[in-house]
Amino acid sequence: MLEPKRLTVENDPLHIIKTRLQTHGRPATISGPMVRYSKLPFRQLCHYYNTDITYTPMILAREFVRNRNARIADFTTNLADSPVVAQVGVNNTTDLLRVIEMIGPFVDGISVNCGCPIKEQVREGIGCALIYNEDLMVDMVKTVKCKYGSRLRLEMKIRIHEHDKPLRTLRLCERLCDAGVDWITVHGRLKSTRSSQPVDLNAIKYIVDGLKGKNVPIVANGDCFTVADMERIQSFTGCHGVMSARGLLSNPALFAGYNKCPWGCLERFVYYCVEIGGLPLQLILHHVYCMMENMQVMRRYLKQIMSLSSIIDLILWLETNFEFSRYGEEGFGARVDVPYRK
């Protein structure tokens, strides 16, 4: 019988979230779950650039516990991928207990996705549906914590029910705290809010303030694209951690203080993809596209990326058009500006 991975001050996400303000003078830095995108090479890249905790993409519990192919496609990890939180999409406590038992020995925490607004999931009672099924959420937390106590970290990632002073959300959070949740991530948008709308920091602050007596940290999520955003979000809301998703997708070096993705980050990403393997080509190219778009690489280059037909072609294309270093070569990972070849 395997036990959940052992938690130490190095890998316990709760410890990190609770202590970063004191030890580092900044909130814990967290990369958000992103279906398709937050896979191992990307997470390792975020860790390299000062992200304290990373999340896997949402893993559907029902598939994971029944289907080998789903497991192989959905989950990979390595020693450098820590602390990592496995995020699950789930609509019942039995599947949750099973997925935790299976994957718990290989990750540092579990997150339940209570924020995904995609119709197919909401219809199944997964994602955002859960914030309207408060009793089920509370049952999930109680049952998991009753079985594992502090040997396993459990987070709930939620959206808010209404703007400004979301009382229903606060009441839900209070119940989750009483049930033993380790921390809560609040994405300050409604089920129906598009990500182009600004995040509601008042609502997050309202929840942080309302939970002051509970000793359960809150992670604020939404619209963090720079370190300045991170600082502003923290000082406004009083949260313990800041999670970024789209910001890191286009600039994985965000939390290291780069306002634009540095060239070296792209070199490192290609290196990790090559070393780890397993990422579909289109996904690699999309990451490269997002980073290069963030670097404001000339459009005529951007247009070519998505039609490259293998990772080898990508490397050759980078070497033809830019000064691109492979791992071990001079300058690898160090350049900041785009080094166009003349």
Partner 1 sequence: MDVDRTVPKNVTTPVTLNNETGEVIVKKASGKIKVRTGQTVEDYLDQRSQFWLTDSKECTNLNMGWMSENFDIDALLSSIDTLKSSKHERQRIIDYLAWLFYYNNNNNNREFSQLITDKIIPVFNDINTELKGKIKKEVTLLERLSKLNTDANTNNINTKTGGNPEAMSI
Please list every residue from 190 through 229 that binds partner 1, using CB under 8 A.
191
**Do 143 and 181 contact (CB within 8 A), yes or no?**
no
Tell me, yes or no, if 116 is annotated catalytic: yes
> Is residue 289 a contact point for partner 1 (CB under 8 A)?
no
Applying CB under 8 A, the span of 50-58, 72-80, 181-189, 238-246 interacting with partner 1 comes to 72-80
> Is residue 92 a contact point for partner 1 (CB under 8 A)?
yes
Report helix, strand or coil for 16.
helix
User: Is 246 annotated in some ligand binding site?
Assistant: yes
Q: How far is the CB of 111 from ligand FMN (least distance, A)?
A: 7
Please identify which of the residues 46, 114, 116, 290 carries the catalytic annotation.
116
The entry of ligand FMN, partner 1, none near residue 223 (CB within 5 to 8 angstroms by kind) is ligand FMN
Residue 234 CA to residue 215 CA, distance in Å, equals 17
Q: How far is the CB of 90 from ligand FMN (least distance, A)?
A: 12
Among 13, 180, 222, 262, binds ligand FMN (CB under 6 A): 222
Q: How far is the CB of 25 from ligand FMN (least distance, A)?
A: 22
Residue 269 CA to residue 274 CA, distance in Å, equals 9
Residue 218 CA to residue 113 CA, distance in Å, equals 15
Count of chain residues binding partner 1 (CB under 8 A)? 67
Respond yes or no on whether the N-terminal peptide bond of residue 13 is cis (omega within 30° of 0): no
Count of chain residues binding ligand FMN (CB under 6 A)? 22
Residue 305 CA to residue 198 CA, distance in Å, equals 30
User: Is 140 annotated in some ligand binding site?
Assistant: no
Among 19, 48, 50, 122, binds partner 1 (CB under 8 A): 122
The entry of ligand FMN, partner 1, none near residue 147 (CB within 5 to 8 angstroms by kind) is none
Amino acid at 106: F
For residue 337, count other CB atoms closer than 10 A to its CB. Answer: 9
Residue 66 CA to residue 64 CA, distance in Å, equals 6
> Is residue 180 a contact point for ligand FMN (CB under 6 A)?
no
Cα–Cα–Cα angle for 76, 82, 84, rounded to 5 degrees: 65
Residue 105 CA to residue 82 CA, distance in Å, equals 13
CA 35 from centroid of its chain's CA atoms: 10
> Is residue 339 a contact point for partner 1 (CB under 8 A)?
no
Amino acid at 224: C
Gap between the terminal Cα atoms of the chain? 60
User: Is 296 annotated in some ligand binding site?
Assistant: no
Interface residues with partner 1 (CB under 8 A) are 2, 40, 62, 65-66, 68, 71-73, 75-80, 91-95, 98, 101-102, 105-106, 119, 122-125, 128-129, 132-134, 136, 167-168, 171, 191, 271, 274-278, 280, 300-301, 304, 307-313, 315-317, 319-321, 326-329
User: Hey, which residues are catalytic here?
Assistant: 116
